[in-house]
Structure 1
Amino acid sequence: MKTALITGCSSGYGLATALHFHAQGWQVIATMRRPRADLLPAAAGIRVLALDVTDAESIARALDHAGPIDVLVNNAGVGLFGAFEATPMATVREIFDTNTFGTMAMCQAAIPRFRERGAGTIVNVTSSATLAPFPLVAAYTASKTAIEGFSESLALELAQFGVRTRLVEPGYCPDTRFADNGAARTDGLVTEPYAAFAGKFFEGFAQPAATTHPQDVAEAVWQAPPPTTHRPRFPAPPPPVGLARRPRCSPRPPRRLAPLW
């Protein structure tokens, strides 16, 4: 029986992914910063472990207690909305500590185990914000975009050892704690010059044309591990499939380039 270790299982994508893998007959190591026994069924094949991806000792303890794993799903993340101008660099670093460096630290801790076995899959969950520009999430997008480049390079390094690296790119999901996790950090980040613009942006989020649900992401993560699959990216529709077709820059560039200074 294969085993998946999943980070950030206290809600949303992580919780749905843990349940989905278990339903497919896998052993699941569901990790979260503050373990709660009531979130997952008390069933054989599910273990809940404490894990803080920003703490090296916590990572080492969790992997030691988990034992051999076949798949690592790096799902733990925190959100942030606000004007970048108003965002303290300490807050930016906090976002990167979890979304970027936490994912990298998990990979670095798991890779030797996979390499020695000559098998394993790393699935890094990023965001549709990496597929097209969005306002008011510049720092968050940067933290996730870094993982996209990191994962693509890492895939080339690890292929020689039989270790695969995959990306899952969820869309906007109202059924997660993304907004709740970022609420305290967001306070005061929409300043008066940005208020009208932000209001229109939030109106759009309140009535999105399409949404992604945790089960969409769970199924996309589930598709990533099979050794017969060579796709590096797995959008979790909707809407990332549509976003993936959008250019990253404006489709109507200026007729002539303005000087940079």
Structure 2
Amino acid sequence: MQSVLITGCSSGFGLETAKLFLDRGWEVVATMRTPRAELLPASERLRVLPLDIADPDSIARAVAAAGPIDVLVNNAGFGAPVPIELTTAATAHALFQTNTMGTLAMTQAVLPHFRRRRAGVIINVTSTVTLKPLPLVGVYRASKAAVNAFTESLAAEVTPFGLRVHLVLPGRSPETRFGDNARPHLRGLDDPDYAPLIEGFVASVRNSTGPVTHAPDVAAAIWRAATDPSAPLHIPAGADAEIWMAEARC
């Protein structure tokens, strides 16, 4: 029986992915900062562990408690729609500490085990905002683009060891907690120049019309990355993500 460790399982993409892998017979280690086992179906194949990917000690404890795994899904992260001019050092640090350094630290924590076994899959979930410039997400975009960059290099490094590495790039999802998690970092709503831009951006994130990404789209893309040896390095997740990816390749 194969096993997967998924970060950020308290909601959204991570929660949906954990449910999918459980439904398909895998052993699942679902991690979240504040464990809530009731979010997932009861199963002897499920373990819910505490994990804060911004805390090295928490990472070490979670990886040790998880034991041997076959697949790591780095899904945890957060965004903040803030103009670059108004982005505080604390917000910039938090974005990179979680999205970039947390993903890197989790990857480094499991790689020695995968390399010794000459088997394992690492799946890093980033975003299609990395494919083209957008206002208000500059620092968030940079934190995710950094993950794209090191993941692409990582793939070249570990393929000779029999390991696989993939990037899953979701599009815009009105189902995520982007707005809730971003609220403490918002700046500019009282600024006459930036307020209309921020309000419009938040409304667009919550708008479910048109091509969007749903949580099952992301879970399906992660499943493909985990189980299909022929899957490409970059995998779009969602109808809008597929459009953005096609445009980026033009």
TM-score range, shorter-chain basis? over 0.9
Cα pair 1:75 1:125 within 8 Å, conserved: yes
Q: Which residue of 2 aligns with 1:173?
A: 173
Unaligned regions of 5+ residues in structure 1, if any? 252-261
Deviates more, 1:159-168 or 1:201-210: 201-210
**1:233-252 alignment, distance < 5 Å:** 233-247=234-248
Q: Distance in 1 between matches of 2:27 and 2:248?
A: 40
Q: Distance in 2 between matches of 1:20 and 1:147?
A: 25
Q: Distance in 1 between matches of 2:70 and 2:29?
A: 11
Q: Which residue type is aligned with residue 222 of structure 2?
A: V
Q: Distance in 2 between matches of 1:137 and 1:201?
A: 10
Q: Distance in 2 between matches of 1:30 and 1:202?
A: 29
Q: Which residue of 2 aligns with 1:76?
A: 76
1:246 counterpart SS class: helix
Q: Which residue type is aligned with residue 225 of structure 1?
A: A
Higher helix share: 2
Q: Distance in 2 between matches of 1:128 and 1:137?
A: 12
Q: Distance in 1 between matches of 2:206 and 2:50?
A: 34
Q: Which residue type is aligned with residue 123 of structure 1?
A: I
C-alpha offsets along residues 102-121 of structure 1, whole Å, 9 cap, x if unaligned? 00000011100100110000
Q: Distance in 1 between matches of 2:26 and 2:156?
A: 27
Matched, 1:99 2:99: yes
Residues 159, 94 of structure 1: alpha-carbon distance in 2 compared, 3 angstrom cutoff: same
Q: Distance in 1 between matches of 2:18 and 2:85?
A: 37
Q: Which residue of 1 aligns with 2:159?
A: 159
1:79 counterpart SS class: coil
C-alpha offsets along residues 24-53 of structure 1, whole Å, 9 cap, x if unaligned? 110000000110121111211111001110
C-alpha offsets along residues 234-255 of structure 1, whole Å, 9 cap, x if unaligned? 100210111113359xx9xxxx
Q: Distance in 2 between matches of 1:204 and 1:57?
A: 38
Residues 181, 198 of structure 1: alpha-carbon distance in 2 compared, 3 angstrom cutoff: closer
Cα pair 1:13 1:217 within 8 Å, conserved: yes
CA RMSD, aligned part only? 1.7
Q: Distance in 1 between matches of 2:204 and 2:231?
A: 36
Residues 196, 219 of structure 1: alpha-carbon distance in 2 compared, 3 angstrom cutoff: same
Relative to the length of structure 1, the TM-score reads: 0.91
Length, aligned pairs only: 249
Q: Which residue of 2 aligns with 1:40?
A: 40
CA displacement at 1:189 relative to structure 2: 6.2
Query: Which structure is larger by alpha-carbon Rg, 1 or 2?
Result: 1
Deviates more, 1:32-41 or 1:190-199: 190-199
Q: Which residue of 1 aligns with 2:226?
A: 225
Cα pair 2:224 2:231 within 8 Å, conserved: no
Residues 80, 159 of structure 1: alpha-carbon distance in 2 compared, 3 angstrom cutoff: same
1:239 counterpart SS class: helix
Q: Which residue type is aligned with residue 23 of structure 1?
A: D
CA displacement at 1:218 relative to structure 2: 0.3
Residues 85, 7 of structure 1: alpha-carbon distance in 2 compared, 3 angstrom cutoff: same
Residues 31, 225 of structure 1: alpha-carbon distance in 2 compared, 3 angstrom cutoff: same
Q: Which residue of 1 aligns with 2:132?
A: 132
Cα pair 1:82 1:190 within 8 Å, conserved: no
2:230 counterpart SS class: coil
**1:190-201 alignment, distance < 5 Å:** 191-201=191-201
Unaligned regions of 5+ residues in structure 2, if any? none
Fraction of identical pairs, as percent? 49
